[in-house]
Structure 1
Amino acid sequence: MPAEDANPLAPERVARAVEEACQAFADARTAAELKEARIAHTGDRSPLALANRAIGTLPGPERKDAGQRIGRARAQVAQALSAREQEVVAAELEARLVAETVDVTVPVASAPVGAVHPITALMDQMCDVFVGMGWEVAEGPELEAEWLNFDALNLGPDHPARSTADTLFVDPVDHQTVMRTHTSPVQARTLLTRRPPVYVVCPGKVYRADEFDPTHLPVFHQIEGLVVDKGITMAHLRGVLDHFARAMFGDIRTRMRPNYFPFTEPSAEVDLECFVCHGESVGNPDRPCRTCSSEGWIEWGGCGVVNPRVLVACGVDPEVYSGFAFGMGIDRTLMSRNNAADLRDMVEGDVRFSRSLVGMAR
């Protein structure tokens, strides 16, 4: 081999190193191949790197010329590498885009999407109204002691609600357990386990020996509220129910009609102004209203001041504390809000029913 070729600083050798580097970069088709070429031609053991280190062995007058020549060569190689990197990256991106292209016009089989049941959604919304007022949500078992379901609430042994025609007793009957007929036992449990003041709302599932028809279900849902504190009156109850009604139905009027419930005294039924005819169908045969039967009002639930006997049964002094309670059917509220015609639709499991009403129930 000629001595000139063995010299890493020889102009011919430097030019050949540049040519080989540029050719290796041009031949690289992938980022991995380009990386190998970069290491081979710009790494620490590459010809140009060895030539750069050899500059220090030259005498002073020759060192400057050699340094400029090697510097130009390395700059040329770096420029070729940078240009090829851009080309390889662009080519790989183009290939990936082609490989991952999705034809959005191709029909696809979509799996049916479920939905939160409208009853659950409305129950959550109702609870949010009371939580926003600082109340608590209380829950209890659906299999309940007969004493808590009836006796603690002033429903005596001879009350018709305690018959098997209305209540589902659990075998053996002498164990005195029932499927709760209302969520009022949760109120009694609350008073038995904590001292006033009490502000709770009790949502849940209840059971009755009712028919399965468009307006009745043997299993349905209620929400009840209980307040026990000092100085509580019927006026506080009216304010809470007006606020609750507006949260559920918008700007709507309410009224109270005297009624009787064993666990409240005085007691009342709460009616809502008909949200279809707004009372205009009353006495007007030309504009009948099926929603309210042309009465102008729709029954919503029961309420009243807590009977002192209930407070005594739960260990609360009625001379110090008073309270109010109310209860509404969640299923019927959903029917009123969304014009659902048949209660059975709510339990038959058709997801189309849930999807159609859940947005309106929220």
Structure 2
Amino acid sequence: MIEINQIATLFLAVALYLLGTYLVKKVNFLNRFCIPAPVVGGLIFAIVATILKTTGIVEIVLDTSLQSIFMVTFFTTIGLGASFKLVKLGGKLLIIYWLACGFLALMQNVIGVSLAKIFDINPLFGVMAGAVSMEGGHGAAAAYGQTIEELGVSSAVTIGMAAATCGLVAGGLVGGPVVQYLVNKFNLKPSTDEMEEYIDNDEKPVEEKSFMHQVFLITLCMAVGTYVGDFFTSLTGFVLPGYVGAMFTAVVARNIMDRVKPGFVNMKEINLIGDVSLGVFLSMALMSIKLWEIADLALPLFGIIIAQALFIVLFGVFVLFRLLGKGYDAAVMVAGFLGHGLGATPNAMANMSAVVNKFGPSRRAFLIVPIVGAFLIDVFGMPIIITTINLFK
């Protein structure tokens, strides 16, 4: 057995992130489906570690105690991006799209838990293959997986990561063909009306003073938010992880700062901190998963993912497309919906970019989908996931 301490584990996580970045640029398949760099690097290490263990050569034990800090930091930066000014720009279509994402989160958990019962596996595995990994992606899978494992369910993180990876690929595969079908069937063309674009006034270069202001704001929200989560759990008995409290504290802080001191929140620097935190967090989460623990669950997991993909395609084509007006913008938003409904917001952006490059621009879609996919989706998703976990814990 080889034990790797927390500092060496941190170094390894960064190294694997850089390896993943290199491979994503070089391998067309990885680039095409927007597979995150830390997922690639971390998964390679997990596969190697699994081979070494199952062949009896050596078992590698990692100290991932620093992982939770990066996790909470990432979710806090998501909350700080939740400016209500953005919501106003989206109008009615943003509300419809947002509500549809909330309904999808509910149905993904219903599908996951129901099929888990049919396959006679722990229903919490169905939660991990539901809204956690589908709408939530790898970040949520790692975060909620830790919460579920703390409830005594082993391999939850591994199940979630596997489901999230399958979802990413599925989201990339179905987006283009579905929109192609809608465009051809309804003879859709880009609209000519103009929509005001939101421009965040933070294009100035990163500066030490401003950067430290953002660090102060992030750590303040983290500190207050983790206590909020602990207090809520002790008061209600519901498991509310600290990162959830931190994110909602950050939402409140962002909108207070917008009123009290506009311009204080610099999203260029916030996003930089968030991207670094997410990269290290995911890399650590992936490299520490134990693939040998889910061999017996491969078939049920695959069945749940197929069911999730079929549902979102049918819902997107026959319900959401019509609710959004049956126009070209609606079709492009369906592409985004399939992308982040099965994977992540970058997947949604990749789907929509492929569509508009072929058929023409859709400014409305490129405003609404990132706003909902980046942070509004969690307003519905988190309560649904947390409630489901508590129902079946």
TM-score scaled by structure 2?
A: 0.21
Q: Which has the higher contact order (CA 8 A, sep 6+)?
A: 2
Higher strand share: 1
Higher helix share: 2
TM-score scaled by structure 1?
A: 0.22
